[in-house]
Amino acid sequence: MHSEERKAQIVSYMATAEFVTVEELMRLTRASVSTVRRDLLGLERENVLQRIHGGARTLQPRTDNFVFDARDTQQVAEKEAIGKACAALIGPRQSVLIDSGTTCFHVARYLGDDVGQIISNSLPVANLLSGSMRREVLVCGGMIYPRLGALIGPHAIEAFSHMHVDVAVLGASGLSEEGLYNSHMLLVDIQRAVISCAARVIFCVDHTKFNRRSPLLLTDLSPVDVVVSDQPPPGPLAAALRAAGVEMVVAGQ
C-alpha cells in the first residue's frame, strides 16, 4: 500500500475515532511501526491531526459521543438510581477506584463520608469530590481526553499497575453474553488496568446497554463480580451472568 493510500485510510478511521494508537494503525494498515509514525508525521505537517505519545488525535472532533455533559443528559433518572444502588455496595473504609463514565460519576455523588480512599482517572469525579474534608481523593496521571474529562495513556496505566483497591466501579458501552464492550482502545486499555488492580469489580450499565456490542471487547464476564442496572437483563443475558457467577443488582429492588 502506498503512503497516500495509508494516510487516506488513517484519516478515514480517525473520522470515528478521535484518538488512535500506533498499534491500532499498524493493524489497520498492516504497516510497520516506523512506517505508521512517518505517516502520522506527514499528516501532522498537513495539519490533519496532532501526534501524541503512542498515537495521534484529531484536531477537530466530528462527534459528541464522548462529550461528558452531553452524555450525562441521557438516562439521567436511571443513572441516579444506579449510582445510589452501587454506592450502597461500598463499605466503610473501603478503597474505591471510579472510572470516567457518566454513570460512574453518579456513583461518586452518593458515596458516604466513611468510604476509604477514592481514586479516579475522571476529572469530573475529582472536581466533584475535591471540596470534601473527610475523604481522601487521588487522581492518576496521564493525558487528558478532553471530551470525556478522562486521564488516559501510558502514565495512567502505569499508575494503576502499582495500585490495589478494594472495589473498582466501571461503566461500559455494551453488555452481552460475551462480556463488556467499550468504543475506544485508549479507554479500554485504562479499564483493563483498573480491573486488574481491584479485588472486586462492579460494572454500572443502564438497560439501554443490554445486548449492545461496541467495536472493542473490553473483557469477558469472568473478572466481573457485580453488574448494577436499572432493569433486569433479558433472559439469555441473565442466564449468562448467572453462569459466570456475576451478581445482578437492580436499583430499587
pLDDT (tens digit, 0 to 9) for every residue of the chain, 253 residues total?
Answer: 788 889 988 888 777 666 677 888 888 898 999 999 999 999 989 888 888 777 787 776 544 444 454 454 456 778 889 999 999 999 999 999 999 888 898 899 899 888 989 999 998 888 888 777 677 889 988 888 776 788 988 889 999 999 999 999 999 989 999 999 997 777 899 999 999 999 999 999 999 999 998 878 999 999 999 999 999 999 999 999 999 999 999 998 7
12 inside domain: yes
CA-CA-CA-CA torsion sign (100, 106, 109, 114): negative
Q: Which residues contact 70 (CB under 8 A, 6 or more apart)?
A: 64
H or E element in which residue 32 lies:
none
CA-CA-CA-CA torsion sign (217, 63, 208, 228): positive
63 inside domain: no
Which three-class secondary structure state does DSSP give residue 72? coil
- Indicate whether 108 and 51 sit together in one domain: no
- Indicate whether 104 and 148 sit together in one domain: yes
- Indicate whether 45 and 153 sit together in one domain: no
For residue 220, CA distances in Å to 15, 134, 178, 226, 242 come to 28, 36, 6, 13, 13
What's the domain range around 88? 68-250
- Indicate whether 93 and 154 sit together in one domain: yes
Identity of the residue numbered 198 = A
Instruction: Tally the domains of the chain.
Output: 2
